[in-house]
Amino acid sequence: MTRWLTDAEMHTWLGYRRMRALLDLQLTRDLGADSGLSDADYDVLTSVSSAPGRQLRLGELAASIRWSTSRLSHQVTRMAQRGLVARGDSPDDGRGATVALTDAGWATLQAAAVHHVASVRRHFIDVLDEQDVADLGRIADKVLAHLTEATPPTPPRRRRSP
Amino acid sequence: MTRWLTDAEMHTWLGYRRMRALLDLQLTRDLGADSGLSDADYDVLTSVSSAPGRQLRLGELAASIRWSTSRLSHQVTRMAQRGLVARGDSPDDGRGATVALTDAGWATLQAAAVHHVASVRRHFIDVLDEQDVADLGRIADKVLAHLTEATPPTPPRRRRSP
DNA sequence: GTAGCGTGCTTGACATGTCAAACAAACTGC
DNA sequence: GCAGTTTGTTTGACATGTCAAGCACGCTAC
């Protein structure tokens, strides 16, 4: 009953997986070498930096980058120890906590972004032509539309045996 | 001096990252729910199963799936404890070790593959049309050609400050 | 044959991610 | 108000990945 993959489908699937693995590895390596940041660090810094006042509720941040709150809490603890961000209390909710970019965090991100964009261009964007970029954008949109419709962002994921 | 990303490029880059994150999450989740396997488990089982005699030298396996030997050694230890694979000594090299699929490992993989293909179809391949599949295959090939040419597989990666 | 180096794998310490439990503040109904 | 639930976050135990030693065998030159 199983519909196996055709040759073309298999080629695309394996190619995608391999691209994903190697591209990630390369970008992560570049980011670490250039700026001393991990992907996780970079994602957090980027999100916080684009928030109004360069500060965010932990829960909002977690949702926007699709992390578990637990993961984020651990990560923020480590980043705070390194002086990249600072924890604070939420003004409007006694339970709430906020993350804010420190000056050092902001400066680090500024420097990192330049290198990171260059790295993304070098290994990814500049390897593709305009048509490729358009095609991949379209493909990602399709896959994302399916995934975000099937599995709503906030509520708990569907289970096999409830 | 930095060439920032155009809107189209940025859209593609963010779309790709998000697709990667969500697609992975979904497939990993399905795999675990359907078969009790992690991605790592599945990759190892697949590779070993396609080797002649369903058994492989650890080093060869590590190279073929691009893992560190250390990572593989830990993983094999855990999988052996669960009875999915068995360690053995290499017949031709006293230092060498082999991994072989156990009957349980083979059976588990057989069952898992059916569900996994269905999952890949459902969330990825079947969301795309034929043209998309062809386009993505072409794009992955381009990126991979660049990455594997710039960073040769076996020798140590290039450094910033040697 | 044996010293010295290279190779293949394992191990241990540590970083990071996940899951479930713990907590404290905020709602809700009475 | 105040018991019970919900919500936002933290914490701890544990799984997994990385890096740097460690170890044992194989190879080469003498």
Phi first, then psi, for residue A67 (nearest 5°) are -105, 160
Q: Is residue A94 part of a domain?
A: yes
Looking at the 3D structure of chain B, how many domains does it have?
1
Residues A47, A65: contact at Cβ < 8 Å?
yes
* A13 is a domain residue: no
- Structural domain includes residue A161: no
- Tens of pLDDT, residue by residue over A97-140, are 999 999 999 999 999 999 999 999 999 999 999 999 999 999 99
Overall residue count recorded for chain B in this entry: 162
Domain shared by A36 and A110, yes or no: yes
Residues 124-143 of B with CB under 8 A from A: 124-125, 127-128, 130, 132-143
In a domain? residue B8: no
Amino acid, single-letter form, for residue A157: R
**Bridge partners for A56 per DSSP:** A99
Cβ distance of B144 and A22 shorter than 8 Å: yes
The order of strands in the sheet holding B55-57 is B55-57, B97-101, B85-89
Nucleic acid strand D within 7 Å of B71 CB: yes
Same domain for A130 and A108, yes or no, is no
B102 in Cβ contact with B87 (< 8 Å) = no
Query: At A91, which CATH number?
Result: 1.10.10.10
CA of A153 to C1' of C28 (A): 27
Query: What domain range is B53 assigned to?
Result: 34-150
pLDDT score recorded for residue A152: 45
Shared domain check, A136 and A95: no
* pLDDT tens readout for residues A43-89: 999 999 999 999 999 999 999 999 999 999 999 999 999 999 999 99
Cβ of B133 and A18 within 8 Å?
Answer: no
Nucleotide whose C1' lies closest to the alpha carbon of residue B29 = C18
Q: Please indicate, yes or no, whether residues A36 and A108 belong to a single structural domain of this protein.
A: yes
Residue B108 has pLDDT above 70, yes or no: yes
- Please check whether residues A38 and A91 belong to one and the same domain: yes
Query: For residue A143, which amino acid is it?
Result: V
Q: Are residues A148 and A78 in the same domain?
A: no
Q: Which two tokens stand for residue A14?
A: 């394996």
For B11, which residue in chain A has the nearest alpha carbon?
Answer: A137
| One-letter amino acid for residue A19 of the chain | M
With respect to residue B161, please indicate whether it lies within any of the assigned structural domains: no
- Do residues A107 and A51 both lie within one domain? yes
Q: What is the dihedral of CA A28, A29, A34, A36, to 10 degrees?
A: 70
Question: Contacts of residue B159 in chain A, CB cutoff 8 Å?
Answer: 33
With contacts defined as CB-CB under 8 Å, which chain B residues touch A29?
157
Residue A120's pLDDT is what? 97
Q: Do B12 and A123 touch (CB under 8 A)?
A: no
pLDDT for A2 equals: 81
Residue A15 lies in a domain: no
DSSP label at A54? G
User: B155 pLDDT band (50/70/90 cuts)?
Assistant: very low
- Same-domain pairing of A108 and A137: no
Rounded to 10 deg, the angle between the B7-35 and B103-123 helix axes is 140
- A159 domain residue, yes or no: no
- The answer to whether position B88 is within a domain reads yes
Q: Catalogue the long-range contacts made by A50-59 (C-beta closer than 8 Å, 24 or more residues apart).
A: A53/A100, A54/A100, A54/A101, A54/A106, A55/A88, A55/A98, A55/A99, A55/A100, A55/A101, A56/A98, A56/A99, A56/A100, A57/A90, A57/A96, A57/A97, A57/A98, A58/A96, A58/A97, A58/A98, A58/A99, A59/A96
Average pLDDT, integer, range B58-87: 96
Which residue do the tokens 């697709």 mark? B19
Q: Is residue A111 less than 8 Å (CB to CB) from chain B?
A: no
Say yes or no to pLDDT of A153 above 70. no
Pair (A35, A92) in one structural domain: yes
CB contact under 8 A, B8 and A142: no
